[in-house]
């Protein structure tokens, strides 16, 4: 093992030219996040973010989600360009501990680049000591992270989705890795949020060989930095960011997610229950304004059940469209991040004078496993969209692009669609009769009642077909009610 003095002597040989960080690379992290990548993906961190063990990590004023991620850092010893998997490890000089700090309050503003939230000064502490890569089997490493002395992360490199040699070979297809460059190889499950006053320690070791990086120590402090809205994006957070920063909804102090509430059994009930019946049961409970009016399906005969993911458009204003309409805007963000069983619900103010989605976005939502789309605006490429295996409910076709009438503004907030208020996490059910919004807390009760009423109505229909008068059976009088209950019991 390194002594503290030996560890300090093993500091990085030079300031790295670049730092390449891997997104999800451990099986445990993939399970925690609920998504397993098919191929590795990366982002860059600036060299100015590098810090040594013992450095303070600042959480800027007015922010809440400063998250740590203990990682194994590979320090390149030789240039690598177009290297094979078989020879990739020979280009690594040494191994050390890293902590990929990130400020989730700025994650939404980064839109995937991670420049703001992970590029701040001291947000990439490395060290304190180096392990010679030639001395170790890259599949034999262990990574551990402690928060205030409590072990919160522990995993081994034999449980990686992408072995280190694959990462090096893959990166070398696209860029030259120079000596001194650092690869942060991803974090396992257990990464979470730290508060001012917390201490986080990370260690990489090879237990069987008695080798260790020593403990990389970071102390979180409250920073003095503020953000000028006139210069650029400022910190914002929502429950999605809180859940991902803390690692789970429970750890973040959030209620159970709508996804966990929409279990397979309830989903099956809602698929069977007709929207008309659900509407009737909601009305019995005093909820009369829960239908999204004026929309129809592109695929008649389909049934849609899912969880609302909301998107809001505001009326087009040319200067605002210039600042919010291009690039990876709110509309593209919603469709690129929709999850399985989610329904994108769009507030378009009932304005059908331009499209609110087209074939490309519909294909993306279908590929992501979305349950469907509801918009109180128009749809471009209507026939093509209708041919995609994705239920879409809209006010009809329109050939114009988004900017004729709308500016994509924001996501994951309470909206109005077709005269109904929709909150993220509400359950959305649709069929040829229309679209209804169900509060998750009422959904199972309403579904059970609607199915019971459906069975009763089917029995009544059989009696009418048999020639019995509507006056007696619809609604049922006492005698017919008793007969129905008897037959239902005998069943």
Whether residues 289 and 228 share a domain: the answer is no
List, for residues 280-310, the tens digit of each pLDDT value: 999 999 999 999 999 999 999 999 999 999 9
Mean pLDDT computed over 332-351: 94
pLDDT at 6: 36
List, for residues 204-241, the tens digit of each pLDDT value: 999 989 999 999 999 999 998 888 888 888 888 888 88
pLDDT at 260: 67
List, for residues 88-98, the tens digit of each pLDDT value: 999 999 999 99
pLDDT at 108: 82
List, for residues 85-128, the tens digit of each pLDDT value: 999 999 999 999 999 999 999 988 887 789 999 999 999 999 99
Range with the poorest average pLDDT among 199-208, 323-332, 412-421, 481-490: 481-490
Write down the residue that tokens 């949020």 correspond to: 193
Task: State yes or no: pLDDT of 483 exceeds 90.
Answer: no
Domain membership of residue 228 as a residue range: 4-246
CB-CB contact of 346 with 311 (8 Å): yes
Whether residues 222 and 368 share a domain: the answer is no
Across 453-468, b (16+ Cβ under 10 Å) vs e yields beebeebbeebeeeee
CB-CB contact of 365 with 373 (8 Å): yes
pLDDT at 10: 45
Model confidence band, residue 491 (pLDDT cutoffs 50, 70, 90) = low
List, for residues 317-337, the tens digit of each pLDDT value: 999 998 888 888 999 989 998
Residue list, annotated binding site: 358-361, 380-381
CB-CB contact of 407 with 319 (8 Å): no
φ/ψ of residue 54, rounded to 5: 95, -5
Total domains in the fold of the chain: 2
Q: How many alpha carbons lie under 13 Å from residue 133 in its C-beta half-sphere?
A: 19
Whether residues 421 and 368 share a domain: the answer is yes
Whether residues 215 and 282 share a domain: the answer is no
Whether residues 223 and 284 share a domain: the answer is no
The answer to whether residue 485 sits within a structural domain is no
Share of the chain above pLDDT 70, in %: 97
Pick from 246, 266, 289: which residue ends a domain? 246
Whether residues 404 and 430 share a domain: the answer is yes
The neighbouring-strand residues paired with 177 are 80
Q: Which two tokens stand for residue 116?
A: 């703001």
Whether residues 393 and 336 share a domain: the answer is yes
The answer to whether residue 460 sits within a structural domain is no
pLDDT at 171: 97
Could you give the CA distance from residue 274 to residue 430 in angstroms, rounded to a whole number?
A: 8
Indicate which CATH number applies to the domain containing 377: 3.50.30.40
User: What dihedral angle (degrees, nearest 10) is formed by the CA atoms of 344, 192, 45, 79?
Assistant: -110
Angle at the Cα of 481 from the Cα atoms of 474 and 282, rounded to 5 degrees = 65
Model confidence band, residue 485 (pLDDT cutoffs 50, 70, 90) = confident
Mean pLDDT computed over 339-362: 95
Mean pLDDT computed over 376-387: 96
Residue list, annotated binding site for substrate: 358-361, 380
**How crowded is residue 349: how many other Cβ atoms within 10 Å of its Cβ?**
15
pLDDT at 131: 96
The answer to whether residue 475 sits within a structural domain is no
Gyration radius (Cα) of the chain, Å: 28
Write down the residue that tokens 């990686």 correspond to: 160
pLDDT at 8: 38
Task: State yes or no: pLDDT of 435 exceeds 60.
Answer: yes
Model confidence band, residue 144 (pLDDT cutoffs 50, 70, 90) = very high
The answer to whether residue 69 sits within a structural domain is yes
The answer to whether residue 166 sits within a structural domain is yes
Task: State yes or no: pLDDT of 412 exceeds 70.
Answer: yes
Pick from 218, 246, 274: which residue ends a domain? 246
List, for residues 460-476, the tens digit of each pLDDT value: 888 889 888 888 778 88
Indicate which CATH number applies to the domain containing 135: 3.90.850.10
Q: Which two tokens stand for residue 191?
A: 């990464």
The answer to whether residue 290 sits within a structural domain is yes
Whether residues 266 and 236 share a domain: the answer is no
pLDDT at 1: 32
CB-CB contact of 73 with 100 (8 Å): no
Residue list, annotated binding site for Mg(2+): 381
3-state secondary structure the chain: CCCHHHHHHCCCCCCCCCEEEECCCEHHHHHHHCCCCCCCCEEEECHHHEECCCCEEEECCCCCCEEECEEEEEEECCCECCCCHHHHHHHEEEEEEEECCEEHHHHHHHCCCCHHHHCCCCCEEEEEEEEEHHHCCCCCCEEEEEECCEEEEEEEHHHECCCHHHHHHHHHCCCCECCCCEEECCCCCCCEECCCCCEEEEEEEEHHHCEECCCEEEEEEECCCCCCCCCCCCCCCCHHHHHHHHCCCCCCCCCCCHHHHCCHHHHHHHHHCCHHHHHHHHHHCCCCCCEECCCEECCCCCCEEEEEEEEEEEECCHHHHHHHCCCCCHHHHHHHHCCCCEEEEEECCCCCCCECCCHHHHHHHHHCCCCEEEECCEECCHHHHHCCCCCEEECCECCCCHHHCEEEEEECCCEEECCEEECCCCEEEEECCEEEEECHHHHHHHHHHHHHHHHHHHHHHHHHHCCCCHHHHCCECHHHHHHHHHHHHHC
Mean pLDDT computed over 448-452: 93
Could you give the CA distance from residue 92 to residue 349 in angstroms, rounded to a whole number?
A: 57
Task: State yes or no: pLDDT of 30 exceeds 60.
Answer: yes
The neighbouring-strand residues paired with 430 are 304, 435
Which positions ≥6 away from 420 have C-beta within 8 Å?
289, 290, 291, 292, 293, 437
Mean pLDDT computed over 39-63: 95
Model confidence band, residue 7 (pLDDT cutoffs 50, 70, 90) = very low
pLDDT at 257: 64
List, for residues 230-277, the tens digit of each pLDDT value: 888 888 888 888 988 998 888 888 876 666 678 889 999 999 999 999
* Average pLDDT of the chain, as a whole number: 91
User: Which candidate, 42, 72, 107, places its Cα nearest to that of 245?
Assistant: 107
- Helix 440-465 vs helix 478-490: angle between axes, to the nearest 10 degrees? 110
Whether residues 184 and 273 share a domain: the answer is no
Whether residues 297 and 239 share a domain: the answer is no
pLDDT at 5: 36
Whether residues 281 and 233 share a domain: the answer is no
Task: State yes or no: pLDDT of 477 exceeds 90.
Answer: no
Alpha carbon of 438 to those of 196, 290, 324, 376: distances in Å? 41, 7, 31, 18
Pick from 441, 461, 484: which residue ends a domain? 441
Write down the residue that tokens 């963000």 correspond to: 333
Whether residues 271 and 169 share a domain: the answer is no
pLDDT at 312: 97
The answer to whether residue 477 sits within a structural domain is no
The answer to whether residue 458 sits within a structural domain is no
């Amino acid at each position: 093992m390194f002594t503290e003095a030996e560890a300090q002597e093993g500091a990085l040989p030079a300031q790295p030219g670049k730092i390449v960080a891997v997104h999800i690379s451990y099986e445990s992290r993939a399970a925690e996040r609920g998504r397993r990548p098919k191929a590795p993906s990366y982002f860059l961190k600036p060299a100015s973010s590098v810090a040594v063990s013992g450095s303070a990590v600042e959480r800027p004023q007015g922010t809440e989600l400063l998250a740590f991620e203990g990682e194994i850092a590979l320090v390149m010893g030789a240039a690598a360009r177009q290297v094979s998997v078989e020879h990739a490890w020979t280009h690594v000089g040494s191994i050390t501990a890293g902590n990929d700090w990130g400020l989730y309050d700025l994650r939404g503003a980064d839109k995937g680049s991670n420049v703001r939230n992970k590029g701040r000064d001291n947000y990439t502490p490395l060290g304190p000591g180096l392990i010679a890569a030639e001395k170790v089997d890259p599949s034999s490493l262990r990574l551990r992270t402690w928060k205030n002395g409590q072990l919160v992360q522990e995993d081994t490199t034999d449980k990686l989705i992408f072995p280190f040699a694959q990462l090096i070979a893959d990166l070398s297809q696209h860029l030259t890795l120079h000596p001194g460059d650092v690869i942060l190889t991803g974090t396992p499950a257990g990464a979470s949020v730290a508060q001012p006053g917390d201490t986080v320690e990370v260690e990489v070791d090879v237990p069987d060989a008695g080798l260790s990086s020593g403990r990389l120590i970071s102390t979180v402090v409250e920073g003095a930095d503020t953000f000028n809205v006139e210069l650029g994006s400022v910190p914002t957070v929502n429950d999605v960011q809180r859940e991902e920063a803390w690692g789970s909804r429970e750890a973040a102090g959030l209620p159970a997610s709508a996804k966990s509430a929409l279990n397979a059994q309830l989903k099956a009930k809602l698929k069977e229950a007709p929207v008309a019946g659900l509407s009737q049961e909601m009305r019995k409970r005093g909820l009369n304004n829960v239908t999204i009016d004026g929309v129809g399906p592109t695929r008649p005969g389909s049934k849609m059940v899912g969880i609302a993911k909301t998107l809001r458009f505001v009326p087009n204003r040319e200067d605002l469209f210039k600042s919010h309409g291009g690039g990876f805007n709110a509309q593209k963000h919603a469709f690129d991040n929709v999850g399985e069983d989610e329904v994108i619900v769009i507030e378009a103010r009932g304005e059908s004078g331009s499209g609110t989605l087209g074939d490309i976005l519909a294909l993306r939502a279908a590929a992501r496993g979305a349950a469907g789309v509801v918009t109180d605006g128009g749809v471009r490429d209507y026939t093509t969209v209708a041919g995609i295996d994705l239920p879409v409910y809209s006010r009809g076709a329109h050939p114009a692009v988004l900017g004729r009438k709308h500016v994509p503004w924001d996501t994951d907030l309470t909206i109005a669609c077709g005269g109904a208020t929709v909150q993220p996490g509400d359950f959305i059910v649709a069929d040829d009769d229309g679209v209804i919004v169900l509060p998750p807390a009422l959904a199972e009760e309403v579904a059970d009642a609607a199915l019971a009423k459906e069975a009763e109505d089917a029995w009544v229909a059989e009696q009418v077909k048999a020639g019995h008068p509507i006056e007696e059976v619809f609604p049922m009088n006492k005698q017919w009610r008793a007969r129905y209950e008897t037959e239902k019991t005998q069943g």
